[in-house]
Amino acid sequence: MRNKLFLVSTIFLLFMSSAAGCTPLNLTPSAPQMPAPTPEPQVIIVIATPTPGPVIESAMTLEAQRIAVYERTAPAVVNITTQVLRTSFFYGVIPEEGSGSGFVWDSQGHIVTNYHVISGAQKVEVSFSDDFTVAATVVGSDPVNDLAVLRVESMPPDITPLEIGESARLKVGQTAIVLGNPFGRFDRTMTVGVISALNRTIQTENTVLRGVIQTDAAINRGNSGGPLLDLQGRVIGVNSAIYSPTGTSAGVGLAIPADKVRRVVPVLIREGRFPHPWLGVEELGYELTPTLARALRLPVERGLLVARLYRNSPADQAGLRAAQREVIIGNRRYLIGGDIITEVDGRPVTTWEKLSAYLDEECEVGQTITLTIVRDGNTMTLTATLQDTPESLRPG
């Protein structure tokens, strides 16, 4: 009876274990088993898959913007050809051709370009396309800022003048688009880059350009006078020069800022030239340093030591004093005894360039300025009313 009960219990337990999905119990005694080693953890590398939609859409949007800028602005960009008469010792007078770019300023036929594009030209022509070339006259020019305005009697229909933007708010890294005619052959070429730097001061062969925009967008000979545009197609500068050891684009292009263009061009159209404030101090004086000041036994270490003045100039009329004597220190001659200019309208000046930049960029003809000077060890102030630069002293 007991054996029957044991057998029934065993069968019942086996049945219950199998029904529960468990491993059947081993009721037979056996030797103890070693536990199975724990498996090494599995390493799963998850790589995020970028969503292609926004990236592709962004690229297409940028491409579409560039295309739209070109299609809207290219018709207003012109090719300018000039003829200059050169004199040769062997051949006499020889005509030479030059070329540059420009753009339509208004609906009256005014074209903006660089002064150096049309300098000395006896004949100027403007091409809107291969089959539309007209003669142009020079309305006004400003060699100091390398700007000039032409005028044509007729233009193709439906030409829209370019919109002039603002350069004061530009940021390094913004898109910069160049339109022009490189080498005078490749009409309406578009190149794209960024604004590389702002407010450069560039010494050219004939003048000093201030506030210049630097870009890596390709600029070559023939691009001079063409527009530098932003991504909305607004003119932010006028391409003027390149820095290059080879004469071709090396990634350093330079453009006159739009704010200056906006200030100068209307005056050129109205008056034919742009007046530049003139003080009448020859920049043959000395920019003082502590070492030079000690050598000349001067009471201040920084400032501009005046050597010479133009007669009847604003500086002369204001009572500014020029050099009184000369001394020789080492192998150099110095004109001394003149006033030392330390400030203009309360702004310290330590170089002639700073003085010229202030007068040309922030002052106007007829404006009265205050000079702070040191004379015989005493500080005093003088007032001078700026005049227009005399014609004999104008570059060009």
**What pLDDT score does 290 carry?**
95
Q: Does domain 277-393 have CATH number 2.30.42.10?
A: yes
Q: CB atoms < 10 A from the CB of 362, how many?
A: 13
Record the pTM. Answer: 0.79
Residue 121, pLDDT above cutoff 80: yes
**What pLDDT score does 146 carry?**
96
**What pLDDT score does 196 carry?**
97
**What pLDDT score does 44 carry?**
43
**What pLDDT score does 60 carry?**
66
The mean per-residue pLDDT over the stretch 337-360 comes to 95
Q: How confident is the model at residue 130 (pLDDT cuts 50, 70, 90)?
A: confident
The mean per-residue pLDDT over the stretch 385-395 comes to 90
Question: Which residues belong to the active site?
Answer: 116, 146, 224
Distance CA 201, CA 217 (A): 19
Is 175-271 in the same CATH topology as 73-152? yes
The mean per-residue pLDDT over the stretch 53-70 comes to 77
Distance CA 45, CA 49 (A): 12
CA distances from 157 to 128, 154, 223, 350 (A): 11, 9, 24, 54
Domain parsing of the chain, residue ranges: 73-152, 175-271, 277-393
Residue 205, pLDDT above cutoff 60: yes
Higher-scoring residue by pLDDT: 9, 112: 112
> b/e string for 48-65 if b means 16 or more Cβ within 10 A?
eeeeeeeeeeeeeeeeee
Q: How confident is the model at residue 18 (pLDDT cuts 50, 70, 90)?
A: very low
Residue 42, pLDDT above cutoff 70: no
Which CATH number is associated with domain 175-271? 2.40.10.10
How many percent of the chain have pLDDT more than 90?
68
Name which of 47-61, 91-105, 183-197 the model is least confident about: 47-61
CATH topology for 73-152 is Thrombin, subunit H (2.40.10)
CA distances from 53 to 56, 58, 60, 135 (A): 5, 9, 11, 51
CA distances from 155 to 75, 118, 127, 330, 368 (A): 11, 20, 10, 65, 44
The mean per-residue pLDDT over the stretch 240-249 comes to 81
Mean predicted lDDT score pLDDT of the chain: 85
